[in-house]
Structure 1
């Protein structure tokens, strides 16, 4: 990480920002920016992600390449964009929520720290969402993934690249052509992904893997719509079981 301190200073000056202005964009103290530029402190991974996203770089480029030479423009590898994150006053990551009404804007703002910073966010101190990973909550619309109901909130974990996808798992994808979709994903070949709905009324379809901008693995779901009672209520079910037991008893006695 020899280049990191110089790169942070170089990029800030290239974008004509003061240390305070950069600190405000990253929701950090100005003194932290100074310590990063002087090499007295090392940014957390969440801060590196924010910096990389703000300057349209990968973390590897940010920490290992002399950006002032211009060489990074030739060395860029094709892949997913590093995402911006939101942190609290202790520099701990918060979980942004992307409600249905913001899903259209997310396609244009997913790499913009200011857009992500304006989304509602919270912390969720449960074991399933710990471990230093990055999470986001997406509200879904439609019935293509029943029994997950329209309006439900999906708790998702960031996936760095298409190569990390696992067949048959459910993901939220951000793509250039489809926007934000929640589907079960299958690796069709090296260039395409097969997206399938859990609702059999919807036909599966292919997307070009190069059109994928972000990948989020679904980890859990929150819904505020209570389940409706079954057509066969509990009382009737108890009667049916009692009748079956009586029939079994009669068969044994005979």
Structure 2
């Protein structure tokens, strides 16, 4: 009889794997693994090779002698490469509307399967919120070289129909109508949402609440470009201070 059963039980102990978890790694039934560990059954050669390769343990050692814990810890970093965090951190996956899928989204926004299959933005944000990402495609929300530019990504939280009246004037929203997605500033008047662009040459749009399918209030922006830090005035003042310092040193 080989030492295979004792060794895999010790591997499980070192790796803190249950019989079920270990069995699933190698497409085994839990009962079959239990029989191996108890010496009631011997594995097929394919199973031995698979386990030996996975943990980088020589097949001869796995079968012919009882391995120590220290030896097991030396194999394959030893099992440390397979280390699992006791409380793994996960970020929220947010479906993102892009230029490629925007037309399909307008027709399928209520189809959960479609939404789940959309490209996902993964970020450390509040997981309790229902959110949507949107890649900016035009210059409607720009003015004097400021604002939202194509390829910027905005994130919005879902606004329920009953809460449309509570949207603050000037809040940036992504509104979905029957025909289009509109990213603009929102103003509420009676049961109408007025959508205003930042660009001065673009007319405002007005929709009764009944013609709005979705509203996402924008809460975050991820810019494609690097925003300059500091103003031109600050840079000039800094330059002047350096010049004055040079003059003082020469006096």
What TM-score do the two structures reach when normalised by structure 1? 0.51
Q: In structure 2, do the counterparts of structure 1 residues 167 and 236 end up closer, same or farther at CA, with 3 Å as the change threshold? A: closer
Corresponding residue for 2:139?
A: 143
C-alpha displacement at 1:223, in angstroms? 1.7
C-alpha displacement at 1:233, in angstroms? 8.7
> Pairwise CA RMSD of aligned residues?
3.1
Matched residue count: 149
Deviates more, 1:217-226 or 1:161-170: 161-170
Q: In structure 2, do the counterparts of structure 1 residues 193 and 130 end up closer, same or farther at CA, with 3 Å as the change threshold? A: same
Corresponding residue for 1:200?
A: 200
Q: In structure 2, do the counterparts of structure 1 residues 243 and 195 end up closer, same or farther at CA, with 3 Å as the change threshold? A: farther
Corresponding residue for 2:114?
A: 115
C-alpha displacement at 1:118, in angstroms? 1.6
C-alpha displacement at 1:166, in angstroms? 2.3
Other structure's SS at 2:158 match: strand
Matched, 1:168 2:166: no
Q: Is the 1:137–1:155 Cα contact (8 Å) retained in structure 2?
A: yes
Corresponding residue for 2:57?
A: none
Q: After the TM superposition, which parts of structure 1 deviate over 4 Å for at least 4 consecutive aligned residues?
A: 228-244
C-alpha displacement at 1:204, in angstroms? 1.7
Corresponding residue for 2:209?
A: 209
Cα distance in 2, alignment partners of residues 214 and 165 from structure 1 = 13
Q: Which runs of 5+ in 1 are unaligned?
A: 1-91, 245-254
- Mark the structure with the bigger radius of gyration: 2
1:100-146 deviations in whole A, cap 9, x for unaligned? 22111110011112211221124322xxx315111111111111112
Q: Which runs of 5+ in 2 are unaligned?
A: 1-90, 245-251
Corresponding residue for 1:184?
A: 185
Q: Is the 2:92–2:127 Cα contact (8 Å) retained in structure 1?
A: no
- Superposed, 1:87-106 pairs within 5 Å as 94-106=93-105
Other structure's SS at 1:138 match: strand
Cα distance in 1, alignment partners of residues 188 and 235 from structure 2 = 46
1:78-103 deviations in whole A, cap 9, x for unaligned? xxxxxxxxxxxxxx963111112211
Other structure's SS at 2:123 match: coil
